[in-house]
Structure 1
């Protein structure tokens, strides 16, 4: 399943509808996570959402679709919470009661692409202070509906979007059988926030390591190693690449196994090598890691992602494996206390982040090929570089977002092209290794 962009999403033409839920006034206050506070604290804005799109193979009654979505909302507490701006701009999070509502059909203007019409709906409704800040959209066709589950990032991560899709399909099966869909309530994300807050303080070695990381970045998180041009936020350029097909992925994994490291570590080796080649510096990048450390959170929806930093100076695969483990360890402690000396996470123009999501390893699965499921990103302005690797049963896919300046086009394109070539070369090397390993085993 690829991570695409709202401008690249393949959508049919047809009536565009969204389901409006009836939401109560904000009630009991809920704990706010560090990352929710950062995200919502930047203010109400468009383009802060993420989504999953898929298609069903036959037309279905609107009431069944609405009932299934309502069951999903009742299952997950974060979908029944809203943010309220404080007088000083600090957000607070509150419970709300949510009931089934009504369908709204959105106008698609003459000559307007369906992508743009959908983007308008999501930009208007899936934003930090909207109530609720999530939306279920449907495009109706004679072949069956295209569905979009979208939410402001403060309530979901990429794992969560899979949970939403899976739970919706389970609820829809109940509706098809003539039953009122009901799903057991999942542990709410607010409980996870409380658990993190109650953890003991990070040891001195972790604090010292974070001090080193921030100092090495000039007092902020890491930047892309090559020039990007104007430091002000720019319209984004989004690149989507198929890096390795299934056979190449198998060979790449064989190479990693021969080195006794993970596939991720071998990819970090490639990034480390080409960064030294092109920029003459170690690889340094913000590295998101998940915080679903207990199995009970696997079926919950929320922002279970925190940031770490990956530092890799030696392209040897085992050194890169150690660098990955160190990044995971660094990101395993609550950031609120660790970032306090800097008044929060210190950011700067040009920040560089690398995300790795291996869908084959997640405990949540859907038939992404049969459903034509795709992750969807919003359109924004940016001054940083964000790289996502998505690994699934078809291979390795890459999505990169960067500021669309002439300088960044040259720098980032060169870095990406060199990386893809290097990863394919490692896969080719793995393909050559595999037969000899079999021969030795026999």
Structure 2
């Protein structure tokens, strides 16, 4: 899990796979869909573009570009959100349209340019992702490949409207399987994220809560404890409300696979889990650096609870409001049980999505920052094909924009436990966040070191 400024792909010749002229004509004339954007999509559409997600993986041997074109076409045909776009609709805001699967045709751009260095290739890739993966354009994704005599790198980029972290693992597995000849009919059936958006709208309209709802009151109390807004990182970053700075990123391995297994054993023996142990480590690290023993943050949760969403591309997430108290914790594993109880309460509050909570709160809630203090966790081992991610050099790549708060992503793979931190890259904020990440690593039992260096150094792509 890295960012585009750290990704260093091996040089080669690039080719893209884009909709044909006939497909673009159908998209231009597609009727409006009655399905509105989801809550996450509405928030994203109202903000500045630039938040995209991408994945890459390597292919051994000369690349069969026709097989890859077919794989991309079949993949997009399976996932309706990739054939869905948004366009302006006056005062009503953006409207959705959907291209029928049978009308999708991709063609390869054959005059690909050869890039001699990783830096040149990264610049091309960053520019193409920024140009293609935009919420108000279609397609809002990038399908490409970097070709070399001995193999190639498959590149997929998605505007955040159409993908979350789980989606990238789905894309890596499906595209590899389709490219190597597996028929689409043998892949797991998948639902449509557009249908999911319709269900979200139906549930939101039919059961809008008010301030008397117990769950709304609990959410309101959480935000009140955060001064009437979303939670902020509990250590001073020197970022006044309304100001943003270029994004800084730190990527590091916290534990190797054996140490992660041992940490899990200790957490489970104490009645917790890996994630609640990691959350406890966050609280203890913050307290070691001067924060209170009680901190508040949002925890992203997936909403792929039905079988039809398990293998779907889309933005299937909500957030839970966590109040984390490490008053009695002596170490992350020992304190994981109490954190687990707090996490269960937070997850129960998330049963009422924040999308329905905010309208009920009215003026008692206000946004003072664009970012929120949050910590996410993904166990990539649970996904199909994960055992081959290292051999295929699979990457989860995020865009680099601006930031006004600190955010953290834990990821577990077959190779161990990793942490990616996102923060304002200022003289005041960066040392605080890096010291915090250092403290998390120490608390987990091993002094962690940034993977391939701190900000400005690169993560090898090959």
- TM-score using structure 1 length: 0.88
Counterpart position of 1:72: 75
Partner of 1:413: 434
Distance 2:447 2:337 in 1: 15
Aligned to 2:143: 136
Among candidates 188, 194, 197, match of residue 193 of structure 1 = 197
- 1:356 corresponds in structure 2 to 377
> After alignment, is 260-269 or 345-354 more displaced?
345-354
Deviates more, 1:314-323 or 1:205-214: 314-323
Q: Quick one: distance in 1 between partners of 2:321 and 2:112?
A: 42
Instruction: Give 1:181 deviation, angstroms.
Output: 8.9
With over 3 angstroms needed to count, the CA separation of the structure-2 counterparts of 1:32 and 1:180, relative to structure 1, is closer
Correspondence 1:208 to 2:217: yes
Deviations 1:247-305, CA, capped at 9 Å, x for gaps = 21122112112202111111112112222232332221121101111122101111001
Over residues 135-172 of structure 1, what are the superposed CA-to-partner deviations in whole Å (9 max), with x where a residue is unaligned?
11100001111011110011011111111222212222
> Map of 1:14-413 to 2, 5 A cutoff?
14-21=12-19, 22-23=23-24, 24-25=27-28, 26-29=30-33, 30-43=35-48, 45=49, 47-88=50-91, 90-97=93-100, 98-104=103-109, 105=111, 107=113, 113-174=120-181, 186-199=190-203, 200-201=207-208, 204-231=213-240, 232-281=243-292, 282-314=294-326, 315=329, 316-342=335-361, 346-349=366-369, 351-362=372-383, 365=386, 367-413=388-434
Report the alpha carbon displacement of residue 362 of structure 1 after superposing the two structures with TM.
4.3
The answer as to whether partners of 1:227 and 1:408 remain within 8 angstroms in 2 is yes
The alignment partner of 2:104 has SS state of strand
Q: Assess if the C-alpha contact under 8 Å between 2:12 and 2:114 holds in 1.
A: no
The answer (yes or no) to whether the contact 2:299–2:321 under 8 Å persists in 1 is yes
**Any idea what the Cα deviations from partners look like across 1:69-112, whole Å, max 9, x if unmatched?**
00000001101100112334822221124522322355567875
Structure 1 position 413, deviation (Å): 1.4
* Aligned CA-pair RMSD: 2.5
Task: Verify the 8 A CA contact 2:255 2:446 in the aligned structure 1.
Answer: no
The count of aligned residue pairs is: 420
- Structure 1 unpaired stretches of 5+: 428-442
Alpha-carbon separation, structure 2, partners of 1:80 and 1:185: 17
Distance of aligned partners of 1:357 and 1:74 in 2 relative to their CA distance in 1, 3 Å threshold = same
Question: Does the CA-based 8 Å contact 2:402-2:424 persist in structure 1?
Answer: yes
1:113 counterpart SS class:
helix
Distance change in 2, residues 1:117/1:378 (3 Å): same
Segment drifting more, 401-410 vs 79-88: 79-88
Q: CA separation in 2, counterparts of 1:352 and 1:297?
A: 27
| Cα 1:225/1:180, change in 2 over 3 Å | closer
Question: How big is each residue's C-alpha offset from its partner over 1:193-245, in whole Å with a ceiling of 9 and x where there is no partner?
Answer: 23233444569221111101111111211001112124311111110010001
2:108 and 2:75 mapped to 1: Cα distance?
17
> Deviations along 1:296-339, whole A, 9 cap, x unmatched?
21011110011222210134322101111122222233332211
TM-aligned CA distance change 1:162 to 1:212, over 3 Å: same
SS in 2 for 1:174: coil
Worse-superposed segment, 196-205 or 131-140: 196-205
What TM-score do you get using the length of structure 2 for normalisation?
0.85
Contact 2:57 2:154 in 1 (8 A): yes
Say if 1:360 and 1:391, in contact at 8 Å, map to a contact too: yes
1:10 maps to 2:8: yes
Give the match's secondary structure for 1:357.
strand
Q: How far apart, CA to CA, are the structure 1 residues paired with 2:171 and 2:366?
A: 32
